[in-house]
Structure 1
């Protein structure tokens, strides 16, 4: 299962399980929040690590930059985000 599939499954669970959602949200802004987030997901059966999240975000953002005219000086300014952890938590806040 890819990082994106894992996060999507966890989001579906968080939509229906308020305690799980709140536990994940509680990791936001804490020192070691990303690690705590991954520990919660692993405890609940989702196989994911901090490095998985970081790498997937960076790879996705890099691919997007390359696809916009090669990422050169004539490329449009991208307002992208490569932090999948933060993006996931923003989605949970907005549920």
Structure 2
């Protein structure tokens, strides 16, 4: 599953400062998600742009379903798994 692949990449980046820097620098790329996925794939992580977008939407949808009739408006950024990964990496 994509979540396991992202966790694998996150663990690797936390142990390797050069990898962490490369992943964070994808923010400045013309194609940040594609470059992020390419780095992950080069390390054996099965991460594609489509799966990355899908996992973000799935997580956001699950949060919205869990409110049981309350706050039905999504919060910006909940559906962006790439941004959440990068923020997690920057803060750890």
Q: One fold, TM greater than 0.5?
A: yes
The alignment yields a C-alpha RMSD, in angstroms, of 1.4
The number of aligned residues is 90
**Equivalent residue, structure 2, for 1:38:** 37
CA displacement, residues 39-78 of structure 1 (integer Å, 9 cap, x when unaligned)? 00001110110000101110111121112114xxxx1355
| In structure 2, distance between residues paired with 1:78 and 1:42 | 30
Which 10-residue stretch deviates more, 48-57 or 28-37? 28-37
**Equivalent residue, structure 2, for 1:48:** 47
| In structure 1, distance between residues paired with 2:90 and 2:45 | 20
| In structure 2, distance between residues paired with 1:8 and 1:42 | 14
| In structure 2, distance between residues paired with 1:58 and 1:78 | 10
Q: Which runs of 4+ in 1 moved over 4 A?
A: none
Which 10-residue stretch deviates more, 79-88 or 37-46? 79-88
| In structure 2, distance between residues paired with 1:42 and 1:30 | 17
* Unaligned runs of at least 5 residues, structure 2: none
Name the TM-score, length of structure 1 as normaliser: 0.86
| In structure 2, distance between residues paired with 1:63 and 1:27 | 28
